[in-house]
Amino acid sequence: MDKTLEMVRTVEGIARRRGLFRPEAYLFVLEALERAMIAREVPGHISGEELLDVVRDLGADRYGVMAGDVFNSWGVHSTLDFGRVVFHLVEDGLLHKQPDDSLSDFLDRFDFDEAFPLKAFQGRA
Among the ranges given (7-11, 37-41, 121-125), the one the predictor scored with the smallest mean pLDDT: 121-125
What is the dihedral angle through the alpha carbons of 12, 18, 19, 23, rounded to the nearest 10 degrees? -30
**Positive/negative CA dihedral, 25, 98, 57, 32:** negative
DSSP letter, residue 103: G
Separation CA 11–CA 6 (nearest Å): 9
| Averaged pLDDT score across all residues of the chain | 92
Q: Averaged over 87-104, what is the pLDDT?
A: 95
pLDDT band for position 1 (cuts 50, 70, 90): low
The domain spans of the chain are: 3-121
24-28, 41-45, 70-74, range with the lowest pLDDT = 41-45
Average pLDDT over residues 88-102: 95
Residue 64 CB contacts under 8 Å (≥ 6 apart), including other chains: 116, 121, 124
- Of 70 and 7, which is predicted with more confidence? 70
Most confident of 3-12, 14-23, 34-43: 14-23
